[in-house]
Structure 1
Amino acid sequence: MNMRKNQFVNGSKKIICFDLEGPLSPQDHALKVMKLIPGGEKIFEVISRYDDLLTLEGKEGYEPGDTLKLIFPILVSHKICEKNLTAASERAELVFGAKKLISWLQKNKWKVYIISTSYQQHALSIAERLKVLKENVYCTKFPLNSFLEKFFYGKTKFPWLALIYEAEKVIVRELWEENLDSGEKDQKLKDFLDEFFWKKLPETELWSTFDSIKVMGGAAKAEALGEIAKQNKTGLKALVAVGDSITDFKMLKAVNEAGGLAIVFNGNEYALPYGTVGIASANAMDLKKILNAWSEGEREAVKSAIEKMSSKKNVHWLLAKTRDELAEILKIHQRFRKIVRKSAAKLG
């Protein structure tokens, strides 16, 4: 073992940061919560599509994953409370092998972190089940009970309710369709929701609270990586990041460009181009060989390990892949994504 490699391992720079929904738990928690509302699943799918459109447009101040902010007025209007958020989380499954993988990592002296767009009620619940330290979880703070008290306690008139209920009707009856990814309703959808979120909602008492919600997505995830690196007195080059979707691409990109290891696990078209390695699998333990290689010799060892696994068609070294090659790899990831994430697979 050469000096550089020895320094890497003995310096305990075995640090891994997981996205939660996808790599560790297949459920989309916010979708599950929205299903408590009449038409909630359709509303969530439309708003999730809107989230993708705003991200691709590059709207100033908007980050991928802000869906969790956009659904706030709807959750409040139907008096969804933190008890509902917790109950939905308690029923959430774990990705097969996730618990075993986290246990193996910890036994091998890896520092395990979760950087999740999810509301804190869900992220901390899953972390506890996986035995990941609470202080190692970065997620979206969402004191929903406080919001409910603020907008309903001691009041008899709620002029903003009619605005939200009317918007819900339009979303369900006019904007939703089975295949939103076709893009056929994109312009109509965007025009309506632009008007609702950025012109009408600011005129209500909900706006100041809405505007204050900070979702742990996009750039915030990349910033969390920086904090983790700083805490461990290292750089992004020493980190492993695992993600699968549009909320993760900035995190994956940051680690990949720094020379670290960005793993796309059952990724979609938004995440795959930013990975170092792609793994498509129904078993989280399939990350073990790659992580072992990384701890022994960083990227060089990972690339070598993948070359030795050439018979496996679900693990790929993504660097320098052409657009056509990535398109073929994406097909494999989409297949496993549907198996593992089910109805949540089609969300950005």
Structure 2
Amino acid sequence: MSGQSSGRLYCTDLEGPVTKNDNAAELASAIIPDGGEFFRRVSLYDDYLAEVVQMPGYRAGDTLRLILPFMMAHGLTQERMREFSAEGILMVPGADQVLRGIAERGPAYIISTSYCQYVRAVCGAIGFPPSQSFCTKVDLSDFDIPESEVGAVREQVGRILARDPIDIPAGAQGIDDLSPEDQATVEDLDLLFWEEMPELSVYMVVEEVRPIGGPEKATSIRRAAEREGVPMDQVMYVGDSITDVDAFRTVRREGGIAVSFNGNRWAVEEADLAIVSPRADPVLPLATAFLAGGRDSVMGRNWSGGTGDAIAVWMTEADVEEVVSRSEAERKQVRGEEIGRLG
């Protein structure tokens, strides 16, 4: 599917810029009672660890490994994970045509924190080569949860749900910036995930699964660029969330272009360009121009598409708070309130 090499590379996140789903959140919701709220609380804790205190060795998106023992305790298997991931794929309007159009013009890759079962299912649905994707590998048939641990792990779901979701203030830099209630929640989650859970044999799945988030996304972009023989200053990356922050920073530092598509605050604040749109259409002319002429051919131009329902803002010229507000509102409109509010 990849087009003739242009000497440049297009990379995109999957969930957000291409699909509406949050596969891990939806999987947790289907497997665990009140699993959507459970996932939300762990995801907020993930945001706190990755970007507020920057816990050594922790990556944005590690939610996907932290939740695995709980889903296994509620009966998740490798086969069920594969089957569920192929069900209910929801595309951002126009995104499949946009991605295929870009791939006809130059090399294109999906760089996703999502479980590979979901990424492969989407690739199959839209005719995109899975060999041009990076994703979180997990094979649950390699792990086991003893019957003696099932009840104890299930009980911890209630423990997490008993506390209110963490509220992370804008600009927070440490635990002291949280409310006293949220500080107590963080301390309890620290105890659970880093002291109590490691005592269980099922915790091996947490130790061995390595989500493609944070710096792993940046590394995956480098690997894609090396595979295509493209320098990093000739890379465009499109993302929408906290898992894309390291990728955005790396691409920008190297001289490429970082684009937020209906991004949350984490993404918008790190992007060169923020696109806010109910459809993926504005991405195609932007990526086409970049693949043809590089950074200079796209900088400063209006990429909103002229339809009136989309905006594209260069962040050097923007009111950040206004763009964040509009982008997060569109994100929730396109993906739904529950998924749109996740980090």
**TM-score w.r.t. structure 1 length?**
0.88
1:326 positional shift: 1.1
- Structure 1: runs of 5 or more not aligned: 1-8
Show the counterpart of 2:42.
Answer: 47
**Is 1:337 aligned to residue 334 of structure 2?**
no
1:290 aligns with 2:286: yes
- Counterpart of 1:3 in structure 2 is none
In structure 2, the partner of 1:65 is 61
2:141 counterpart of 1:145: yes
Give, in whole Å, the separation in 1 of the partners of 2:124 and 2:271.
28
Residue identity matched to 1:52: D
Task: Say if 2:170 is the partner of 1:169.
Answer: no
Pair 1:315 & 2:304 matched = no
Pairwise mapping of residues 11-90 of structure 1 onto structure 2 (< 5 A)? Answer: 12-36=6-30, 37-55=32-50, 56-89=52-85, 90=87
Question: Counterpart of 1:161 in 2: which secondary structure?
Answer: helix
With 132-141 and 288-297 compared, the bigger mean Cα shift is at: 288-297
138 and 123 in structure 1: CA distance in 2 versus 1, 3 angstrom threshold? same
Match of 2:118 in 1: 122
The alignment's C-alpha RMSD in Å is 2.2
- The structure number with the bigger radius of gyration is 1
Unaligned runs of 5+ in 2: 170-177
- State the SS of the aligned residue for 2:339: helix
Q: Distance in 2 between matches of 1:281 and 1:309?
A: 10
Given that residues 117 and 215 in structure 1 are in contact (C-alpha distance below 8 angstroms), is that contact kept between their aligned partners in structure 2?
Answer: yes
Stretch moving more, 182-191 or 85-94:
182-191
- Structure 1 Cα separation of the partners of residues 60 and 131 of structure 2: 24
**Displacement of 1:35 after TM fit?**
1.1
1:186-223 deviation line (CA, Å, top 9, x unaligned): 21221111001100111111233321111111111000
Structure 2 Cα separation of the partners of residues 137 and 17 of structure 1? 9
| Aligned CA distance change for structure 1 residues 307 and 146 (closer, same or farther; 3 Å) | closer
Q: Which of 199, 219, 224 is the aligned partner of 1:223?
A: 219
1:346 aligns with 2:341: yes
Amino acid in structure 1 at the alignment position of 2:100 = S
